[in-house]
Amino acid sequence: MIADLREVLRYRELVMTLAMREVRVRYKHAVLGLGWAIAMPLSLMLVFTAVFSRVAQVNTGGVPYALFAYVGLVSWQLHANIVNNGARSLSDNSNLVTKVYFPREVLPLAAVVSALFDFAVAALLTGALMAWHKVPPGAGLLLVPVILAVQLCLGTALALMLSALNLLYRDVQFILQVTMMLWMFASSVVYPIPASGDLAWLAWVNPMTPILDAWRSAVIGGALSLSPAFGVASLFSAAFLIASWRWFRRVEGAFGELA
Amino acid sequence: MTQTAIQFDRTFKRFSRGKRVRTLAELVLGWPRRLLQKRDAGGLLEHEFWAINDVSFEVRKGEMLGIVGPNGSGKSTILKLLYRILRPERGHVRVQGRVGGLIELGAGFHPYLTGRENVFINGAILGLSQRELREKYASIVDFAGVGEFMDLQVKNFSSGMYARLAFAVAAHARPDVLLVDEVLAVGDNAFQMKCYDWLAKQRRQGLTVVLVSHNLYQVGASDQCLYLNAGEVVASGSPQEVIARYQTELAASLVSRVVTAEGQRGMRIERVQLLDGAGHEISALGHDEPLRVRLFYDCPQPLTSPVFEFALIHDDVRFPLHVPNHHLFCAFSASAFQDVTLSGKGVAELSLDAMRLPTGIYRAKVTLFERDYASPLFVLDGAARIEVNHAPFSDGRALIDCRQAWSLPVEAKVS
C-alpha cells in the first residue's frame, strides 16, 4: 500500500499534466472560455432561484436563496464532475491504457484535479455573491480545507471505482447518469434536507448532505463547527477511498486487455 | 560482470477468443451459466487459448534480442508484457530499469493541442519530468525537424510530421530497456536513416533492446533471437541459425500456399516445368544460364489470342526489393499468339536467355489472359520453385552481377 502510494506520488507531474490537458482542451473551444466554469452553476442557480423563491418557498434559515443555491450547486458540480469525468477517464483514454505503462490511478486522479480547476474558478464568484448579499465571511472559512478534503476523498473513491467498473462493464455509464440525477435531488443541493421528520434519515445515509451543509454553515454562516453527521461522512469517505483504491489495484492488471 | 536486464520466466498469458462479459446486465444474467463452465487440464475455458505459452528467456544488459515469427505468434504480446500493459497469468516477467517503447508512437497526442503542448504531455506519459522536457525541448524539435510548426495544432500536422515528432519524444525518454515494434518505418528515407543511426548509437551506449520485426535484416543484427509460433518458442539462440530456420519454415509455408484464381470457363494452367538448355528439368539455375519454361495449359473451350505471363518472385521476405505492381522478373507474351486459337490440352514454351537474377530462391507465378488482358482467366502463384545460384563475379556484393573484365588501357595511363 505504501509502495503503491509512493509510485503514484512519483507520477504526480503526469497527473497535473494530464489534468491541464483536460482543462486546455475543454476551454480551447468553448466560446466563453473559462467563463464556462462559472456559467454552468450560475445559470442553474438562476433557474432554481426563480423556482424556489417565486413558485415554491423553501426554508433556508434566513440565508438568501441565491447564495444558498449557488454554494450548493458549486460543490455539487465539483462532486458530479469528479464522478462523471472520473468514471470515463480510463475508457476515454483507452489509447493510453493499451499502449503505455503508468500507474492507472493517474487517469482518474487527473479527472479529479481538472474538476478542482473548474471548482476554483466557480468558487471565486461565491465571494462576489456574498458581498452582494452583504454576508460577511467568518471564521468558518478555516474549515474549507477540511470539508474539501472529505469531499475529495468521497469523489476520488467513486472515481477510482467507477473508472474501473466502466471499463469492465459498458452499461455502467448509463446507470451512472440516472443515479447522479437522483442523488442530486436526494441531497441538500438546492433545498435543505430537514434534520427531523420523515426524511431525516437521508442526511445520515447520504454523505453528500452533511458535506453540502458543512459548506454552507462554514462559508455563509461562518460557523467554526461541524455536525456529527459530517463526522460520520468523513469516516465513511476515508474508509471508502482506501477500499476503492485497493480494489482498483487488484483489477488494474486487466485494464490493458479491456480498454 | 554482465547483469540481467530482462528475465522472462516460464510465462503464460491467456487470451480469450470468444466474447467477454461486457455489461453488468450480462454479468447478472450469465451468472448461472458461468458457474457450470469448466476449465480444462491446462486451465483454459472453452474460448481461451495461450497467447504466450511457457516462454522463458533472458536478455543481458546492453544486448539486443530480436523476435521473429508469423502474425499472431505472440511477438507483440511479449512486448506488452515487458511494458507492463499486460500481466501474465503464470510465471514472472522482470525488467531492470526504465522501460521505453517505440511501440505506439504519439500515445496521448491530442489533435487540438499544439505540437509544443503535446511534447510536454507525451513526454510526461513516457516518464519524463517537466524540467527534463524543458531542457530537452530544443533537441526534440531539432530531431523531429518540425521547428516552425510547433505552435500548430497537431491535427494540422502531416502524418509524417506527426510520426517524426512522436519518435523524437520517445527517443528522448532515455529508457534503460527499449522495446521496438516495427516502427522504424516512420517518415521519409532521410528520417528513417536518422532513426537507425539513433538506435545504433543508443546500442553502443549500452541500451538493452528488444526488437520485433518482419525485416530479418534488422533482426539479424541482434545478439540473440527468438522464433515464436502460436505463443511458443520454436527456436532461440544465434540470430543466424534462428533466422535460417524461420526462413526455411516460412518458405515451405509459402510454396504450399498455391494461390489460384479458378479459371473462368475452366481455363487452366495445370503444371509449370523449368528446364535447362539441354531440356532437363532443373531446380537450380546458374545466374547467367538460359532457362526454358513449359506451361501445360488446358482449355476446355477454344481460346483465341491467349496471353501468357510468367513471373519470378523472390521467395525471401528478407529480400529488400519489393515494388508494388512489378515483378523482379516477368515475361509477357503480349501479341505473340495473336489470332491463335488454343483448344484442349497443350504446351506453351518460353525460352529465356541469361536473366542474371539476384541470388536466391524464386517462386513462379503464371497467369493466363484473354486478348485484352483486362482480367486474368487463370492465376497460379507458387507453380514452381527455382534457386538461382550465386554469381561469383563481384564477390557477392552485387544484386545484379555479370562477367566482367577490368584493365588499364594505355591511353588512360597517367604519365
Cell of A129: 455573491
Mean pLDDT of B27-51: 77
Q: Cβ separation of A171 and B112 shorter than 8 Å?
A: no
- Whether B393 is in a domain gets the answer no
> Which CATH number fits the domain that encloses residue B263?
2.70.50.60
Q: Cβ separation of B21 and A169 shorter than 8 Å?
A: yes
Best of B29, B85, B120 to mutate (most A CBs within 10 Å, chain A) = B85
Contacts of B20 in chain A (CB under 8 A): 258
- What's the pLDDT score for residue B320? 67
Give the residue from chain A lying closest to B99, CA to CA: A101
Rounded Cα–Cα distance for residues A25 and A27 (Å): 6
Residue A57 neighbours by CB distance under 10 Å: 9
Indicate whether B151 and B26 sit together in one domain.
Answer: yes
- Whether B415 is in a domain gets the answer no
- Whether B289 is in a domain gets the answer yes
The burial of A249, by beta-carbon neighbours within 10 Å (0-12 exposed, 13-18 middle, 19 or more buried), is given as middle
Domain count, chain A: 1
Q: Cβ separation of B127 and A102 shorter than 8 Å?
A: yes
- What's the pLDDT score for residue B42? 72
The whole domain housing B215 covers 4-251
Indicate whether B161 and B275 sit together in one domain.
Answer: no
Where does a domain end: B232, B251, B270? B251
Inter-residue contact B237 to B205 (CB < 8 Å): no
Inter-residue contact A97 to A259 (CB < 8 Å): yes
- Whether B161 is in a domain gets the answer yes
The burial of B12, by beta-carbon neighbours within 10 Å (0-12 exposed, 13-18 middle, 19 or more buried), is given as middle
- Whether B407 is in a domain gets the answer no
Inter-residue contact A155 to A83 (CB < 8 Å): yes
Indicate whether B208 and B298 sit together in one domain.
Answer: no
Indicate whether B233 and B381 sit together in one domain.
Answer: no
- Whether B222 is in a domain gets the answer yes
- What's the pLDDT score for residue A96? 85
- What's the pLDDT score for residue B415? 57
Indicate whether B116 and B247 sit together in one domain.
Answer: yes
Indicate whether B285 and B159 sit together in one domain.
Answer: no
Indicate whether B162 and B42 sit together in one domain.
Answer: yes
B97-128: pLDDT as tens digits? 888 877 777 777 888 889 999 999 889 888 88
A195-252: pLDDT as tens digits? 777 777 877 889 999 999 999 999 998 888 899 999 999 999 999 999 999 999 999 8
Indicate whether B238 and B370 sit together in one domain.
Answer: no
Inter-residue contact A133 to A64 (CB < 8 Å): yes
Q: Rounding to the nearest 10 degrees, give the CA dihedral for residues A182, A185, A188, A190.
A: 140
> Which CATH number fits the domain that encloses residue B76?
3.40.50.300
Cell of B169: 519524444
Cα angle B360, B388, B254; round to 5: 50
- Whether B395 is in a domain gets the answer no
Indicate whether B127 and B270 sit together in one domain.
Answer: no
The whole domain housing A238 covers 2-258
A8-48: pLDDT as tens digits? 888 899 999 999 988 888 887 766 667 777 888 888 888 88
Spatial CB neighbours of A68, under 8 Å, sequence gap ≥ 6 = A60, A216, A220
Q: How many residues does chain B have?
A: 415
Cell of B66: 530480436
Binding-site residues on chain A for chain B (CB distance < 8 A): 13-14, 17-18, 21, 24-25, 28-29, 93, 95-102, 169-172, 175, 253-254, 256-258
* Mean pLDDT over the full length of chain A: 89
Cα angle B152, B156, B157; round to 5: 85
Domain count, chain B: 2
- Whether B406 is in a domain gets the answer no
Binding-site residues on chain B for chain A (CB distance < 8 A): 15, 20-25, 27, 80, 83-87, 99, 101, 103-104, 107-108, 110, 112-113, 117, 120-121, 124-127, 129-130
Indicate whether B163 and B105 sit together in one domain.
Answer: yes
Indicate whether B17 and B140 sit together in one domain.
Answer: yes
What was the ipTM of the complex prediction?
Answer: 0.77
